[in-house]
Structure 1
Amino acid sequence: MTTAQEALLETLEDLGAEDFEKFRWYLCQQGALEGFQRIKRCHLENASRENTVDHMIQTYSEHAVTVATVVLEKIGRNDMVKTLSKTKIGTKGKSVKWTWFTWGSSLKIKRFQHEYKIVCSRVWMATLLKQIYTDLYITQGGSGEVNKEHESRQIERASWNSNRTETIIRKEDIFKVVPGRDGETRTVMTNGVAGIGKTVLTQKFTLDWAEDKANHDMDFIFPFTFKELNMLSEKEFSLVELIHYFFSETERAGISTFESYRVVLIFDGLDECRPPLDFNNTDFVTDPTKSTSVHVLLKNLIMGKLLPSAHLWITTRPAAANQIPPAFVDMVTEIRGFNNLQKEEYFRKRFQDEEQASRILSHIQSSQSLYIMCHIPVFCWITATVLEDMLKTTEGGKLPTTLTEMYIHFLVVQAKVKKVKYDDGVETDSHWSPDNKKMIVLLGKLAFEQLQKGNLIFYESDLTKCGIETRTALWYSGVFTQIFKEEKGLYQDPVFCFVHLSLQEFLAALHVHLTFITSDVNLMSKSTKWTKLFKCNIKHVHRSAVDKALQSPNGHLDLLLRFLLGLSLEANQKLLQGLITNTQTSAESNQKTVEYIKKKISEESSAERSINLFHCLNELRDCSLVEDVQQFLNAGNLSTNELTPAQWSALAFILVSSGKDLNVFDLKRYSQSEEALQRLLPVVKVSNKALLGGCHLSESSCALLSSVLSSPTSRLRQLDLSHNDLLDTGVRLVSEGLKSPHCSLETLSLSGCQVTENGCRFLAAALAFNYHLTELDLSYNHPGDSAENDLNSSTLFLPSRLDHSGTHRLKTFIRKYSCELEVDPNTVNRTLKLYDNNRTVVKMSALASYPDHPDRFQLIPQLLLRPALTGRHFWEVNWTEDVFIALSYRGIERKGKSIGCAFGYSDQSWSLKCASDKGYSAYHNGRKTMITASTYSHRVAVYVDCPAGILSYYSVDTDNSLIHLHTFDIAFTEPVHFGLYVKSGIVSV
């Protein structure tokens, strides 16, 4: 067997003089050897090949071959990497696992440490992965189906719900027995947006196993990446050959079968698989020694045909999750990244100075867009890199508050580092040298063209099309390591990618901007040749980008659009002075763009799409729409009846971006209408509980809510639709949403929704597919006996409230709760006269001769009605002149002229004042609320739902329709009574 010294000497002798000189140079460079220490330059300055080998053995001992492999990759001699790795360098008397750990995994572990250092650990002073790893937020759940939203929107949703209680899974328990499932979990799919930490998670999992810290029961863990597997798409392997190819130490150990071992196979980056996996018409392979294509091997492993005893862990971005049929996945998990506490922990670890850390945290928290993006560990690193540099180089300067500013500063920091570290410049020199500008221009072109195709990883052919040679790309990845990096496989040719998708989107936007100002070509236009013939303004580029982003079915251009608009600001262009040599933007052009975006907001029917347009306005420093609505909200006098479509969108944006009060969404706080629900649907989607009861909703609203229930991003757990005329057709639509595998609704209230036998059958069928629902309220409907039996069997384990009290329950809206009331004569004030069998009350100047009674109102012209109320009740009143229509506890004061005796002036009662000359106003505890009504009527309806804590007043129109006036939200503590305070006029009850 060859010794390490012999293998190294043979390798160095095959190097030409120029490559050998580069080899020695890398050995002397601090930080170039992926975690290994450098050799002092004086030892290698004139060293021969033999002396170089001796120094390597002395410095690295058993890791010398690993270091040689790293250096050979850096100088582009992958052919020699393959030769060296296949050289048999034996180990004696060691276990299989220890052999894998000390020889083969040493390279893997060093790579893992380096990868984490490149992506994350720079912000923690380059500490090794095993010392700094922070557990990510891994949750169980999901269906593994496709999510087509842009990942920035998914990040926002995850951030809004980061404090929700969910099933958290530790990485070491990923394959443990799951309650409710027979046996162990074989195949796990882990979803997560780009940069959230999927790869680092699998690497730490492998590292902990290799160091005997976790998963001691596993004999082998074999981590693969789809980047590496893509390079083998035209070759054939058996499963055993594939493992031997990547992990040659298993072949050296004489292992030719893996059925008797406990094995974990990790496949990282399903979204990077080229072409995507297609499970239609798959050839079955069960023999692990039979050769076939890598894709066929993968599919048979996933289907359980090959090595069924093995555990599989597949990671992917959400958009590619549907490549694997759900039947082949035992458990779906999701990485949510950092929650709010972990964000703070991250920056406090990064910045040891407590005052500095507090200032940075305060700044990030003040910008909603930055704080949301810090949900991603990689963005925390970008932010820390920028702010660290700015705090060193500027005194009291303005820190970036928008995404565009942050990424411009990040680009500038990298250009400065290159200038000082590689070009022997100083920090005061211009960092936009011709080489730097050329590098950014080419990387921007690559970013844009590959983004158009949806690619995040690039091969040699992709680079060549953009005018980048492989050697140039290797140089870029070695210099701009924090922007563009080479992904090294063990033995394959290099592939490249940007450190994070958002960096690719930023450089793509920069490419669009630079292309226009240098050549007048609008890359966002459908046909670029016409832009050369006709003079084009930057506003036309922006309009094209807005239109193209709105037309995108999955929003994949949303972030690019935000960056492109941000680059048009003069302040941002000054930051890139030297890279952007001339500008074609002006305040006037930007204002035109602002007006165009506002116009699109007012036209856009999708509130979801409108939210990104508000982010765009934020990048352009225009917050006028949001500020107007926010001002009304803060003053407490927002009249939703007068909101324009654009203002409705602004309200939705404010609510979903606030990060507050998303636990409960109550539609009645804004408007009881279907239009309001449609405009505020994004808020429903990110809320835990939606209160939509008594909001005049119909079948069309049910279609909207069905889409929410079936959305993979919906967080809705409780839905109250009671007291809306949904009918059976509406319930059918809601039932379709309940059937969705994405639906996680736990409580559904359909009380008083005019549901009959047919609607209940739709619900019964849906509940056969839904295992999350734990409570169903169908009271005050008419299900009929047979449908009720169907429901009872479907909801066997649910607390359900059903009744079939007759067809009177099917009266329109809340009138179904009409009740018979009578005046309590013992409460009537002596200035009130009763007529028509006590159904008419008249205010008199003379006193009536009623007997004394402790319940009688002595000085205020009031009365109570009976009986006491505890459920749902509806009552209509005709009035003239000046009347208070009230709800009160029995214990309200009766004596004296104290203000506490009057309805609405204490905490014991609530009232609506109806005045012929002043309209309507609501009172409680002495506080008056003016009501702006679209119609005016001398007939008022009152509805109280004691269990739900609702008291609502309605004006009754000439066509008998109900127009909402005001709603009180009340936590009732005892039975209540309707009451009347007749200052003047006549009341009929």
Structure 2
Amino acid sequence: MSDQTINVEQAHSFRLCDCDITDKGCVDLTAALRSNPSHLTYLNMYNNSLRDSEVKLISDVLENPDCKLKILELCRCNITDEGCVALTLALQSIPSHLKHLNLSDNNLRDLGLKLISDVLKNPDCKLKILELCRCNITDEGCVALTSALESNPSHVTHLHLSNNYKLRDLGVKLISDVLKNPDCKLKILKLCRCNITDEGCVALTSALESNSSHLGDLDLSFNKLRDSGVKLISDVLKNPDCKLKILELCRCNITDEGCVALTSALQSNPSHLTHLNLSDNNLRDSGVKLISDVLKNPQCKLKILELCNCDITNKGCADLTSALRSNPSHLTHLHLSNNYKLRDSGVKLISDVLKNPDCKLKILKLCWCNITDEGCDALTSALRSNPSHLTHLNLSNNYNLRDSGVKLSDVLKNPDCKLKLLDLRDCGITANGCAVLKSALRSNPSNQAQLKI
């Protein structure tokens, strides 16, 4: 630990994720931080069994008026009420530096949340980012949190509460009341897997309609919103004051009806949304056609589109790629993984898009798409003719690709190739094929691509 201690004293950031740190290690670490507290601004101790006693040691460091920590990540560290008491007492005494606190995946429950809420009420509190995912929060804890945010609404800009299954509609109603406050500065709200239904969605969208000018990132994935909830969200998107740039609605039971409402809203107000995630919904080809019509709009600003596991076939892919050919300059991320019916014919259509010199695609994900030799030939040909944009290509879990994936070695050899990541895991590539790909990468030292096989 002594070498690490020297590094702690000199570094501005320090990561000790998954390090199996014991009591002794934490004592050494905090001793170093106490002896030289003014440099370290970022400490990440994700997934260490710190327990409450070690959290108390870190809390002692925070109480030092010379401590300059701005980001503290203690996700999955076995913290309970006792550790939370020590941590929040420290933040109450010296609350002015810490801006980002991540306590996700700890058994904080409602008492822990009440303690954190007391910190937020402090007018000197500077916390902007608060992550409390999977912390067993219920209505009671949410009451304390939202009460604190209402009494001091102008600081917190990022609130992550995903995977708190007991939050439900009542919790979302409380959060919605905060959003209505004209002084609220929330820009990012993550409520994935919180058991939200129509009732909670009504409250949330009503709040956004009354005060839509700040929130830019909303994640409601894995909630039972269905088409009725999506229609409500669509009404918000139509508002010209709406500033939503990122909307995540993965696995929300959306069908054609909801997709009609959503795409109609995006057609009427296409200039804000840059990231749309509709993965794991039963969109099928009809839904993809509606989305494709949005992409054709020259005012459309979508850069990231996620349509994984949406039962897309060649017909839907034809509509999508036609839209991208007519308006190729905006989309940079396209995620189509787990569309088993896409196959080689769909990949050929996508390859034609990649050949377009105006294409700006940087990340393309085609895992689990039943791609074989024929699709790989088309993709390789496209990347040879236009190698300068794509940085991430994920073809993993296309079991029938086999050593045809080796053809991509020609792309890796190209000095103009910009690939940073090529993922060919679980594609049936043999040891000989792996050797060819690695050799191609070594032959082009200017390309620092990461190869996963």
**TM-score, normalized by the shorter chain, greater than 0.5:** no
- Greater Cα radius of gyration, structure 1 or 2: 1
Structure with a larger share of its residues in strand: 1
